[in-house]
Amino acid sequence: MNFSALLQGIASFAWVGLIGVVVTMFIRTSRNQSTKGLSTTAAILLAVAIVLTSMGAGLVFVEPDELGVVVTVLNGDGIRPEPLTAGLHWIVPFAERVERFSILNQTYTMSSVEDDGEIAGGESIQVRTKDGQQVYIDASVIYAIDPLKAVDLYRTWRFTYEERLVRQQARGVIRDVASQYGVEEIVSTKRAELQLLITDELQRIFAENNLVLRDFVLRNIRFSDEYAAAVEQKQIAEQQAQQAAFVVQQKKQEAEQARQVAQGQADAAVIAAQGAADARLIEAQAEAEANRLIAQSITPTLIQYQYVLKLSEGVNTIFIPSGNQFILPLPDTTGQ
């Protein structure tokens, strides 16, 4: 609750009441009527109005997210040495006043995007890299007032610290640090290092000027149109080279697959031929063994018997005179 405003409101009613009583006294006096009691009422209202007005002017309520710096004529340098923290405070009416500072985190953004930065139309930081390329950097600085140094901040910067300190120092530090890198380092391998160096330098500068750097955000890095076109062409060429290398690798894989298939077929043919040869050898060995067994089983008597059986299918018995040879000569079974 704003007690100062409440007291001043009550004081305003007291002043209005006092004016009303004074007017009534003049009217009654002009009509020769008694003003008994009105003088006392007027005096009371005057005293109440003065007291409430003084109290309302002297009571100050500081919000929880604020600090109050007291500007006074009662001090040699015109500022109380200690700021007012959250709560209700008393200052000398008409001799002192309170300047309020927010202690919340504040963000100052520098961006090329319309309505994204603090200045209309955008304010990217233009940087010339060490290899002569022009880049545009968008960034945000998140900071807060050091509660212990709010009086010093007011004494040094008043309320111009954002424009004259935060903005100017941030832009200068970003330019100085980024100019130490090449354009490809800024956008790729050294971007994190760049952000860290800028953060460290801003922390040092802000601490010396009674501010606290909460964070530094490197939002975007944009090339000039000419360099962007060159980068795009380079990327296209690299992609084409990668595609060609992929095709070569694919062809190598296909050739290797074909070689492996052919090798497999050749191996299969060798195995099949070896199998056929082994099978023929086994078969020949079996035939030889069979012939050997057959040869062992053949006798002269058996041969003669088989010979006789083949003479005629209808001949069952042959009569031969005693002591005579067969009608036909028998095959020679002696092997001579």
Residue 238, pLDDT score: 77
What domains are there in the chain, each with its CATH number? 3-67+84-100 (no CATH), 106-223 (3.30.479.30)
pLDDT band at residue 210, thresholds of 50, 70 and 90?
Answer: very high
Of these ranges, 142-156, 180-194, 221-235, the one predicted with the greatest mean pLDDT is 142-156
Least confident window among 86-95, 225-234, 253-262: 225-234
The tens digit of pLDDT for each residue in 239-297 reads: 778 887 888 888 888 888 888 888 888 888 888 888 888 888 888 888 777 777 777 77
Q: Confidence band (pLDDT; 50, 70, 90) for 328?
A: low
Give residue 310's pLDDT band: very low, low, confident or very high (50, 70, 90). Answer: low
Residue 77 has pLDDT above 60, yes or no: yes
The model's pLDDT over 102-147, given as tens digits with 9 standing for 90+, comes to: 999 999 999 887 666 666 556 889 999 998 888 999 999 999 999 9
- What is the average pLDDT across 296-307? 69
Question: Residue 230's pLDDT is what?
Answer: 64
Distances from the Cα of 279 to the Cαs of 267, 276, 287, in angstroms?
A: 18, 5, 12
Distance (Å) of CA 18 to CA 8, 21, 185, 196: 15, 5, 77, 66
Q: Which tens digits make up the pLDDT trace of 47-62?
A: 887 777 777 777 888 9
Summarised one tens digit per residue, pLDDT across range 173-188 is: 999 999 999 988 998 8
Lowest mean pLDDT among 71-75, 99-103, 202-206, 307-311: 307-311
Task: Give the mean model confidence (pLDDT) for residues 161-182.
Answer: 95
* 43 contact partners, CB below 8 Å, separation of at least 6: none
> Average of pLDDT values for 8-20?
81
Confidence of residue 31 (pLDDT cuts 50, 70, 90): confident
Percent of the chain with pLDDT over 70: 82
Average pLDDT, the chain: 82
